[in-house]
Structure 1
Amino acid sequence: MELPPLPTVMFEPLVRAALVEDLGRAGDLTTDAVVPVGFPAELTLTARQQGVVAGLDVAALAFRLVDPAISMQVERPDGSVVGAGDVIASVSGPARGLLTAERTALNFLCHLSGIATATASIVEAVKGHKAQIVCTRKTTPGLRALEKYAVRAGGGSNHRFGLDDAILIKDNHIAIAGGVRSAIERARAHAGHMVKVEVEVDTLDQLEEVLALGADAVLLDNMAPAQLARAVEITAGRAITEASGRVTRETAPAIAASGVDLISVGWITHSAPVLDIGFDYSP
């Protein structure tokens, strides 16, 4: 399925802020001193390791904001699997603008491609099972829309985007509300008819209680695969089942084999290593 691009208006302020941060009070002293005005150049974005590409529109915008005369020719669009040495895109225009925008463009591109790559690795690990890999709200402040886009580029799906698009009742909510029943009843009374209610459970007894109260989804927190399988059996399709807690590429297959619908993974956004991408000029 084709990956829909993000509207530019969603990330332009982020890119502008990043460029302003880098340019500081005097602009690019090194490039302005060394590179002649108007010198034309073409540089290539090349993968230095295997991974999945994400963030090319963001990188392209960084170049254009510095100099509108810069253009990007994409060879491997977002969502593409690349190997070491593969050319992802070529970028051409005035050399000053290319070098001034380079770091900002690469910061976004390498970070988002790293998230896409991490996501793809876990998606591949659970292949053959129905479980979808979903991200969480454990994102870099300000970059949530971009990081969740990168998850989609890697073949994953998105959990809620914020506190305002779904209700997720967790242990502290339950404790303060005075119990599961009170928390769910208050949530139902407060939420509109379009809002789903998910409840975190730690035990099978809690699961039974939550299902009886009509939750739309259950977050099965830190359960072993055997316990997850039993939870899926108890749920019997009455709610969406989501497994969460210390999920890795190595543990994901057994979790998926339990039959859960979703596996939520926080580290694919908050701790994914960058994808190493070079930006090189050849005379």
Structure 2
Amino acid sequence: MEKQIRDIIEAALSEDIGTGDITTQATVNPKKQGRARAIAKNDFIIAGIDVFEETFHCLDKSIKVKKMVEDGHRAKKGDVIAEVAGKLSNILQAERVALNLFQRMCGIATLTVRYVEAVRSSKAKILDTRKTVPGLRVLDKMAVRIGGGANHRTGLYDGVLIKDNHIEAAGGITAAVKAQRKHLPHTLKIEVETKNMKEVKEAL
């Protein structure tokens, strides 16, 4: 698991557990072992099953997670997604974060599949945007890929997209494109957000 994803998981666990799970501490014997199952409540695309597993391991490496499916699998209502076994108190502390991240990724992948299937007979491609929840972009974009979509730029640093506000600030599409070409290597493409064919022609 790459460090960036582990950092997201650890931050989420820290946010949720804080100084300690006061409910679990009061009600669960710290030595008690337990088992849990993740069962699908409806049909969806699996995305982030490794993130689900890693969330438990970030809190307690001794917890065993048996994955019944892999990313991209079309789960059906009632399917067992995973089985978890280990110290019950730690399972209870990690399970909500594990499910929150996993459910979000599955939802994104499932919706992406619908869009991809809707345009399958055309030349259109489904790409994501930067409109993600702060801190979760790497997971959101991973889910899009699992759903058959493609990633656009990751951030402001790895791709050019001239939008309406840039165009207005530069004094028009032509001025914005010319200014951009002066600052970029010729190998990097420039994308321009347009509203009509007239603007498309000007951008070209």
Which TM bucket (shorter chain)? over 0.9
Aligned with residue 21 of structure 1, among 15, 30, 34: 15
- Tell me the amino acid that sits aligned with residue 17 of structure 2: L
Contact 1:64 1:70 in 2 (8 A): yes
Aligned with residue 131 of structure 1, among 117, 124, 127: 124
Superimposed CA distance per residue, residues 23-76 of structure 1 (whole angstroms, 9 cap, x where no aligned partner)? 122x11222222222322221111101111112222212211221110211111
SS in 1 for 2:54: helix
Q: Does the alignment pair 1:74 with 2:67? A: yes
Q: Report how far residue 114 of structure 1 moved.
A: 0.8
Aligned with residue 138 of structure 2, among 138, 145, 166: 145
- Higher RCO (C-alpha under 8 Å, 6+ residues apart): 1
- Tell me the amino acid that sits aligned with residue 40 of structure 2: A
Bigger drift between 82-91 and 173-182 goes to: 173-182
Distance 1:129 1:190 in 2: 35
Q: Does the alignment pair 1:35 with 2:28? A: yes
Distance 1:141 1:67 in 2: 26
Superimposed CA distance per residue, residues 123-173 of structure 1 (whole angstroms, 9 cap, x where no aligned partner)? 122222222111111100111111000111111111111111111111221
Task: List aligned pairs for 1:1-283, cutoff 5 A.
Answer: 7-25=1-19, 27-211=20-204
| Superposition TM-score, scaled by structure 1 size | 0.69
Distance 2:49 2:187 in 1: 34
As a proportion of its length, which structure holds more helix? 2
- Tell me the amino acid that sits aligned with residue 141 of structure 2: K
RMSD: 1.3
SS in 1 for 2:126: strand
As a proportion of its length, which structure holds more strand? 1
Distance 1:70 1:131 in 2: 44
1:267 paired residue number: none
Percent identity for Structure 1 against Structure 2:
44
| Superposition TM-score, scaled by structure 2 size | 0.95
Contact 1:46 1:86 in 2 (8 A): yes
Distance 2:32 2:186 in 1: 60
- Tell me the amino acid that sits aligned with residue 106 of structure 2: S
Superimposed CA distance per residue, residues 219-270 of structure 1 (whole angstroms, 9 cap, x where no aligned partner)? xxxxxxxxxxxxxxxxxxxxxxxxxxxxxxxxxxxxxxxxxxxxxxxxxxxx
- Tell me the amino acid that sits aligned with residue 67 of structure 1: D
Contact 1:40 1:93 in 2 (8 A): yes
Return closer, same or farther for 1:193/1:71 CA change in 2, 3 Å cut-off.
farther
Aligned length: 204
Gaps in structure 2 of 5+ consecutive residues: none
Contact 1:165 1:195 in 2 (8 A): no
SS in 2 for 1:133: coil
Gaps in structure 1 of 5+ consecutive residues: 1-6, 212-283
